Amino acid sequence: MEIFELSEYKERLRKTKEKMQEKGLDILLVTDPANMNYLTGYDGWSFYVHQCLIVLLDEEEPFWIGRNQDANGAKVTTYLGENHIIPYPDIYVQSTERHPMDFVCDILKELGQTNGTVGLEMDTYYFTAKCFTQLQLGLPQSTFVDATSLVNYVRIIKSDKEIEYIRRAARIVENAMQTGIDAIEEGVRECDVVAKIMHAQISGTVEFGGDYPAIMPLLPSGERTSTPHLTWTDEKYKSGIPVILELAGCYHRYHSPLSRTVFIGEPDPKIKYLADVVIEGLNETLSSVKPGITCEEVEAVWRKSIAKSGFEKESRIGYSMGLNYPPDWGEHTASLRPGDKTVLQPNMTFHCIPGIWLDEYGVELSESFRVTETGIEVFANFPRQLFVKNSTKIY
């Protein structure tokens, strides 16, 4: 199955090499699985062991290096020729005597790449301190440079095909969100609601199925809504509490996150008021988005809006998102927060999530959007409101 045309992968690699030259790199070691996917199409649940791409300025294709039993996965999912797929034997897997980066060093020696400047993704989930020490030991004549976000910033402006995949992910998250809201009732277990949500995320739509999201469904309830990143329990829902749902649809690893808040029973006036503040702020923030505005200018609109009601929020209100693997769907580049002077350009995609979490409760509503030539495209088509559930109605 062709995910992207070869020409698109070649263009991504060309832009990456341009960035390498600007940074003075001869070699780039790519260990982030999203960046590996972006440059070659590689897609497998193999990131729990060490794997990487070697990108050389004078090589037409990167070299994929990974565990021997995953090499056929590289043949199936990438465009790389067999001589650019180099597996290491299982003696390197979780061994105390040798390390996969020892193998990478040996390959670089075979390629005559032992004294150049090597870019490393040093601040990723998948590149460990041990990786770095073994590279230093194995390539003593090389110079190592932090290139953590190099490929990530190449990814920040999406192609039309990538945008189409995010739109499909949005159709999936619409279904998943509606499924979750419909299932939340007094007396229903939280885990049973999440089971239905995850079924909707994976089954997708009649036209296309879903992929596993990079983040599990986040569904804190009651006092737990005072913090955003809790999942679920096996407790039964009670009347008189809020429930936050933060979900994503995923299609070919491209995400469209969405969050909403539900109240079970007669809504607490304090939570209803907070929801009104969040919705107004989100609406005003989204209406400000256009090419040429900076990330910090977008955040300032939100800050000004909630200040009218006496609220403050220290954390960022959004971030660039799209292609990714667990544990995060964010791209780790631009953030909607003070000090980020990234200028918005067409086909940048963001998750704007200006929730407010107080000491005993919180409210979240979010939207994923694309910057267009003139403004904004919100990916999901879903009511922007506080959902109120009682025994007979959804308001």
The first and second tokens of residue 241, run together, are 């509490």
Contact partners, residue 161, CB within 8 Å, separation at least 6: 4, 8
State residue 257's pLDDT score: 98
Residue 117 CB neighbour total at 10 angstroms: 16
Closest CA to 245 of 217, 276, 277, 216: 217
CA–CA gap between residue 143 and residue 128 (Å, rounded): 18
Do the bridges between strand 387-389 and strand 254-264 make them parallel or antiparallel, or are there none, so unpaired? parallel
Average pLDDT, the chain: 96
Q: Are strands 52-56 and 27-30 parallel, antiparallel or unpaired?
A: antiparallel
Instruction: Give the pLDDT confidence of 257-285 residue by residue, as tens digits.
Output: 999 999 999 989 999 999 999 999 999 99
Residue indicated by tokens 């006036």 = 269
CA gap 176, 197 in Å, rounded: 5
Residue 115: predicted pLDDT: 94
Long-range contact pairs involving 182-188 (C-beta distance under 8 Å, separation at least 24): 182/394, 184/237, 184/243, 184/262, 184/264, 184/389, 185/237, 185/264, 185/389, 185/391, 186/236, 186/237, 186/238, 186/239, 186/264, 186/265, 186/391, 187/236, 187/237, 188/236, 188/237
Whole-prediction pTM value?
0.96
Cβ-based neighbours of 245, under 8 Å, separated by 6 or more: 177, 180, 181, 197, 217, 218, 219, 259, 260, 261, 262
Q: Which two tokens stand for residue 204?
A: 């997708």
Confidence of residue 395 (pLDDT cuts 50, 70, 90): very low
Dihedral over alpha carbons 334, 335, 337, 341 (to 10 degrees):
10
pLDDT in tens, 312-327: 888 999 999 999 999 9
pLDDT digits (tens, 9 = 90+) for 3-55: 999 999 999 999 999 999 999 999 999 999 999 999 999 999 999 999 999 99
Angle in degrees, CA 50, 52, 56, rounded to 5 = 155
Domains, the chain, with CATH or none: 6-155 (3.40.350.10), 160-389 (3.90.230.10)
Of the pLDDT bands very low, low, confident and very high (cuts 50, 70, 90), residue 1 is low
SS3 131: helix
